[in-house]
Amino acid sequence: MASLTEDPVLGINDIKEREEENEKGNTQVVKTEEVGQSERDMASATGSSIHRSGSRPQLDLSKAAIQGNFEERDPTILLPNQSDDLSHLALDIGGSLIKLVYFSRHEDQSIDDKRKKTLKERLGISNGNRRSYPILGGRLHFVKFETNKINECLDFIYSKQLHRGGMDARIWNPDAPTNENAVIKATGGGAYKFADLFKERLGVSLDKEDEMNCLVSGANFLLKAIRHEAFTHMEGHKEFVQIDQNELFPYLLVNIGSGVSMIKVDGDGKFQRISGTNVGGGTYWGLGRLLTKCKSFDELLELSQLGDNRTIDMLVGDIYGGMDYSKIGLSASTIASSFGKAISENKELEDYSPEDISLSLLRMISYNIGQISYLNALRFGLKRIFFGGFFIRGHAYTMDTISFAVQFWSKGDAQAMFLRHEGFLGALGAFMSYEKHGLDDLMVHHLVERFPMGAPYTGGKIHGPPLGDLNEKISWMEKFVRKGTEITAPVPMAPTGTTGLGGFEVPSSKGGTLRSDASALNIGVLHLVPTLEVFPLLADPKTYEPNTIDLSDHGELEYWFTVLSEHLPDLVDKAVASEGGTDDAKRRGDAFARAFSAHLARLMEEPAAYGKLGLANLLELREECLREFQFVDAYRSIKQRENEASLAVLADLLMELDSMTEETRLLTLIEGVLAANIFDWGSRACVDLYHKGTIIEIYRMSRNKMQRPWRVDDFDVFKERMLGSGDKKPRPHKRALLFVDNSGADVILGMLPLARELLRRGTEVVLVANSLPALNDVTAMELPEIVAEAAKHCDILRRAAEAGGLLVDAMVSTLDDSKGHSSSVPLMVVENGCGSPCIDLRQVSSELAAAAKEADLIILEGMGRALHTNFNARFKCDALKLAMVKNQRLAEKLIKGNIYNCVCRYEPLS
């Protein structure tokens, strides 16, 4: 075990410097209560300064040590003399809901070996800037409980030991004494109301954090660190807005709780409550309860979805005999007076339907808030207005009414925006108030939002508690399936277009209906991966969009959901077989199929639940779900079998290639890559091929059918760059990144011979492969062994692999140097940082980012990396995209061709 203080690469001085910097403190403007206020209060725009709480736990670094190998990506750091538990939990305890944000460490640890050490040395990767905060390298979870079920919340906290630093903390240091003075951060009124209960049940004290400070802190973090956080909502349509964090401030944050607070945010730790109104969520709920006898806020919202406000609201047409008041731009359907008809009709309360009352009330309050918010934004010259709070809670109709109010009064100059995590702003802000968590330094590429795997979603609502134990998950899935059709969906909205909106026209709903989103607080898990980087060779990272398929099109979404569903039985069979076909594997396979199907149903109901949905996200969901039920590599045995068959014929292929002229060989190599890319267990058409012949027979058949011109054919341009024309010989590329795809023939008979040709020309080659298995894709962990076996047949590969550190642990027979072309340029392997058939180049491994800095050629191979994603991507260097299309719909949409058409797209830098 290495001593932390003796190991300079971990940057202990950096931690101490941060402690000193943080002690300087941040100033913020004091908050007022989130309730309505008088005109006099509204006039006060500033207040006295406040500081963050000084009672937070501090890190004691004495005798700190790394557990295990300090070269690991996320080493476990033991802090034996920590005086307080470094809590991994924060709460926002409101009147209706308790929101929890808690942290858990990543379970998986990558194993460093000699190859990786050699690679890091060659690429100049240093551990000197390693982040040493224990909080980094894990997951942020978001959970909610109804406040009236606080005992269930306390049971949940206790079961996971969140008040003691989490179950993982007990694993790190099981002999640590129990801390009787543990403190966890909390905000909201319940932090005061339930403080004694937390002390009694859990033995912890609640350190109360300022509510408004937490809201702003949470909002700033989300807007800077989460890619698809902010969105607009008009006519039932959600559209995500990407905001450059350098242009984020200032903005207006409108928090709608019982009353409304309007906060001007100028930066981190800089905000002012500039206004507010006492007409807020409490007004809606209070008046609604008196007028309709509803027993809950949700019940009142559901009533509004079925209402028709024309029976109560006075419209312009009611005043002018059904005519518009065109002179001042008001149509007949414009609301002239909310509840105005009630004064002129001889009716009692019971004569009006509760549904109509609820809708009229919702519109009156939402429009009022929207108008006041815009006027305050106008007052301070703010273009961005973000709305949040319990009143919003993802309710589609509420967001629509506020959006129309802002649009109407601003004449389209301003937009109302909402936050996907808005229900957790306070809890997240409280969590960030702990010192030394490191979250302030996180960038958008360090966080990956994953689908929550604890319990499945369907029909827009979560069913079942967050589950941790695998057997619990399987058992819950079995119960879930038995309930079958008993699971309910959100109440559908009544058709719109029937009533006027306050001060402007009724929207025409594109879908015909609007619905409630009762699942607004059911969001993903944020994976914190500080080793991820933005791919440095993207031409413009701000405009880069990895997904080629637009799943915002409902028909497109339905098609791909069907494809994934039809492929599911075959995938389950392969997964169970990979685990030996045991009864346990069959039970897990069944649970995986049910969970994945439920997730698909959830996304079909609301595609934007976890941000902008792309095909890459869907495919990644499938792999994450497999791993959740402990299927590490569903195609392991198939990959091994296909690798052996391909390696057996590699020597003959290389001999054949060496007998060709340079020009013929280059064409044959590209043909070979395209032909070998036919092997794809994710394609139904390709799976059918496997029943008609062996892998080598299919490869030869594919090679024999290769005919130019291909559907996309830039080979001649690529050939000129590689070989030149006439006597003019071009400069070889310095370093090429080869993004490989499938195991077997694809990588061994396709990409390795192409890599060999580049090495022969003096180009360094980096094979880029998945960090984790996905279908039959080859992984970075598997590639060195494949290269070692291939190197037995080729001196070029052997020398390059030795230079690249791939043969450090492998026994490779040395060929006669006189019989081959020797090469001193290295062949390296790096992981791409993902475990999906697709790749998002905004989040790649630090190894790949380092390797890319010297690269001047990128080769993206396969449908997932070159078609499903990155087909339209542009780079700061030459790029070659190679793939055989194995899906008819993709062929029609992308290249206006057919299945088995080939793509050879070359995009030179100049």
CATH number at residue 657: 3.40.50.10880
Residue with tokens 């580049």: 758
Question: 574 pLDDT exceeds 50?
Answer: yes
Q: Provide the β-strand partners of residue 447.
A: 528
DSSP 8-class letter at 891: I
Q: Show the DSSP H helices in 629-775 as ranges.
A: 636-658, 662-676, 684-689, 695-704, 715-723, 745, 752-760
Band (55; pLDDT cuts 50, 70, 90): very low
Amino acid found at 203: G
Cα angle: 699, vertex 700, 703; to 5 degrees: 90
Secondary structure class of 103 (helix, strand, coil): strand
753 Cβ contact list (under 8 Å, min separation 6): 653, 654, 657, 669, 672
Pair (526, 657) in one structural domain? no
pLDDT of 239 higher than 50: yes
Q: Is the pLDDT of residue 820 over 70?
A: no
Reply yes or no on whether the pLDDT at 849 is more than 80. Answer: yes
The answer to whether 203 touches 182, Cβ cutoff 8 Å, is yes
pLDDT, mean of residues 386-390: 90
> Higher confidence at residue 128 or residue 161?
161
Residues 6 or more apart from 408 whose CB is under 8 A from it? 501, 503, 504
177, with CB counted inside 10 A (0-12, 13-18, 19+), is exposed
d(CA 215, CA 795): 62
Give the mean pLDDT of the chain.
78
Structure tokens, 707: 């005919």
* Residues 108/434, Cβ–Cβ less than 8 Å: no
pLDDT score recorded for residue 701:
78
- Per the DSSP assignment, residues forming a β-bridge with 150 are none
When pLDDT is cut at 50, 70 and 90, the band that residue 439 belongs to is confident
Please tell me the predicted confidence (pLDDT) of residue 166: 52
The region that residue 271 occupies, defined by phi over 0 for left and psi between -120 and 50 for alpha, beta otherwise, is: beta
Query: For position 334, what pLDDT does the model report?
Result: 77
Confidence of residue 476 (pLDDT cuts 50, 70, 90): low
Q: 504 pairs with which residues across the strands? A: 501
| CB within 8 Å of 670: residues ≥ 6 apart | 715, 718, 754, 882, 904
162 within a domain of the structure (yes/no):
yes
3-state secondary structure of 173: coil
Q: Are 513 and 497 in contact (CB under 8 A)?
A: no
Residues 672 and 526 in one domain: no
Q: Is the pLDDT of residue 899 over 80?
A: yes
Mean pLDDT of the region 434-447: 76
Answer yes or no: is pLDDT of 463 > 60: no
Range of the domain at 159: 1-208+443-478+522-532
Question: Rounded to an integer, what distance in angstroms lies between the CA atom of residue 896 and that of residue 890?
Answer: 9
Task: Say if CB 787 and CB 829 are below 8 A apart.
Answer: yes
Residue 497, pLDDT above cutoff 90? no
Q: Which residues contact 172 (CB under 8 A, 6 or more apart)?
A: 67, 76, 78
- Name the residue with tokens 């062996």: 694
Residue 560 near residue 887 (C-beta atoms within 8 A): no
Task: Write phi, then psi, for 517 (nearest 5 degrees).
Answer: -110, 85
Q: How many CB atoms lie within 10 A of CB 542?
A: 8
Could you tell me which of 746, 770, 747, 760 has the C-alpha nearest to residue 837? Answer: 770
Q: For 128-222, where are the E strands, in sequence order?
A: 138-146, 183-187, 205-208
Half-sphere exposure of 153 (CA within 13 A, CB side): 25
Q: Is the backbone peptide bond immediately before 709 cis, with ω within 30 degrees of 0?
A: yes
Share of the chain above pLDDT 90, in %: 45
Range of lowest pLDDT (142-146, 405-409, 745-749) = 142-146
Q: What is the CA radius of gyration of the chain?
A: 30
Model pLDDT, residue 741: 95
For the ranges 151-155, 255-259, 454-458, 661-665, the lowest mean pLDDT is seen at 454-458
Are 651 and 526 found together in one domain? Answer: no
**Is 728 contained in some domain?**
yes
Q: What is residue 606's predicted lDDT score, i.e. its pLDDT?
A: 78
Q: With 70 as the cut, is the pLDDT of residue 262 above it?
A: yes
- Candidates 575, 681, 683; CA nearest to 628 is 575
Contact 198, 206 (CB under 8 A): yes
Summarize the confidence of residues 456-479 as an average pLDDT.
56
Q: Please write down the long-range contacts of 20-24, taking CB distance under 8 Å and 24 or more positions apart.
A: 22/435
Reduce the DSSP state of residue 145 to 3 states and report it.
strand
On whether residue 755 sits in a domain, the answer given is yes
- pLDDT confidence of 162, banded at 50, 70, 90? confident
Phi-psi group of 329: left, alpha or beta (phi > 0 → left; psi -120 to 50 → alpha; rest → beta): left
For 116-125, 183-192, 664-673, 743-752, which range has the lowest pLDDT when averaged over its residues?
A: 116-125
Residue 887: pLDDT band (50, 70, 90) is confident
The DSSP element (H or E) to which 426 belongs, if any, is helix 425-432
Question: Would you say residue 30 has pLDDT above 60?
Answer: no
For residue 593, the SS3 value is helix
316: confidence class by pLDDT, cuts 50, 70, 90: confident
Task: Determine the pLDDT at residue 345.
Answer: 84
The number of folded domains in the chain is 2
Residue 358 has pLDDT above 70, yes or no: yes
Q: Do residues 624 and 451 touch, judged by C-beta distance below 8 A?
A: yes
Candidate from 60-74, 150-164, 326-340, 611-625 with smallest mean pLDDT: 60-74
The model's confidence at residue 68, banded by pLDDT at 50, 70 and 90, is very low
Does 499 score more than 70 pLDDT?
A: no
Residue with tokens 């709305």: 387
Do the domain assignments include residue 686? Answer: yes
Mention every residue, 6+ apart, whose C-beta is less than 8 A from residue 374.
385, 405, 406, 409, 410, 414
Q: Is the pLDDT of residue 527 over 90?
A: no
- State the pLDDT at residue 74: 39
Say whether both 11 and 147 belong to one domain: yes
Q: What is the arrangement of strands in the sheet containing 827-831, beginning at the earlier edge strand?
A: 712-713, 902-907, 878-884, 857-861, 735-739, 764-769, 827-831
What are the percentages of helix, strand and coil residues in the chain, rounded to 5? 40, 15, 40
Beta-bridge mates of residue 532: 845
Kindly write down the DSSP assignment for every residue of 333-363, as one continuous string.
TSEEETTGGGGTS---GGGS-HHHHHHHHHH
* Domain final residue pick, 513, 532, 551: 532
Residues 693 and 817 in one domain: yes
Higher pLDDT, 271 or 470: 271
Local structure of 718: helix, strand or coil: helix
- 844 domain residue, yes or no: yes
Q: Are residues 783 and 655 in the same domain?
A: yes
Q: Is the pLDDT of residue 725 over 90?
A: no
- Least confidently predicted of 76-80, 298-302, 307-311: 76-80
Give the least confident one: 3-12, 78-87, 172-181.
3-12
Distance CA 613, CA 603 (A): 9
Q: Is the pLDDT of residue 495 over 60?
A: no
CA distance 568 to 629: 15
CA distance 473 to 465: 10
Segment 759-803, tens digit of pLDDT: 999 999 999 999 999 999 999 999 999 999 999 989 999 999 999
Long-range contacts for 749-752 (Cβ within 8 Å, ≥24 apart)?
Answer: 749/646, 749/649, 749/650, 749/653, 749/672, 749/676, 749/699, 750/672, 750/673, 750/674, 750/675, 750/676, 750/677, 750/861, 751/673, 751/676, 751/861, 752/650, 752/786, 752/787, 752/790, 752/797
Is 221 among the domain residues?
no
What confidence category does residue 554 fall into, taking pLDDT thresholds of 50, 70 and 90? Answer: confident
pLDDT beyond 90 at 714: yes
Q: Where are the alpha helices (DSSP H) in 445-582?
A: 470-483, 554-578
Phi-psi group of 675: left, alpha or beta (phi > 0 → left; psi -120 to 50 → alpha; rest → beta): alpha
Domain membership of residue 588 (yes or no) is no
Mean pLDDT over residues 222-231, rounded? 91
Region 277-300: what's the mean pLDDT? Answer: 92
And the tokens for 8? 């300079």
pLDDT band at 56; cut points 50, 70, 90: very low
Residue 173 located in a structural domain = yes
Q: What is the pLDDT of residue 513?
A: 31
493 vs 150, which has greater pLDDT?
Answer: 150
Instruction: Return all residues near 697 (Cβ < 8 A) that are at least 6 apart.
Output: none
More confident residue, 723 or 492: 723
Cis peptide before 250 (omega within 30 of 0): yes
Prediction pTM value = 0.80
The pLDDT value given to residue 471: 76
Exposure letters 495-524 (e unless 16+ CB within 10 A, then b): ebeebbbbbbebbebeeeebbbbbbbbbbb
Average pLDDT in the 864-880 region? 97
Q: Comparing 110-114, 549-553, 613-617, 789-793, which segment has the lowest mean pLDDT?
A: 110-114
Instruction: Report the Cα 810 to chain-centroid distance in Å.
Output: 38
Amino acid code (one letter) for 709: P
Give the pLDDT confidence score for residue 302 in this predicted structure. Answer: 86
Query: What is the mean pLDDT of the segment spanning 603-624?
Result: 85
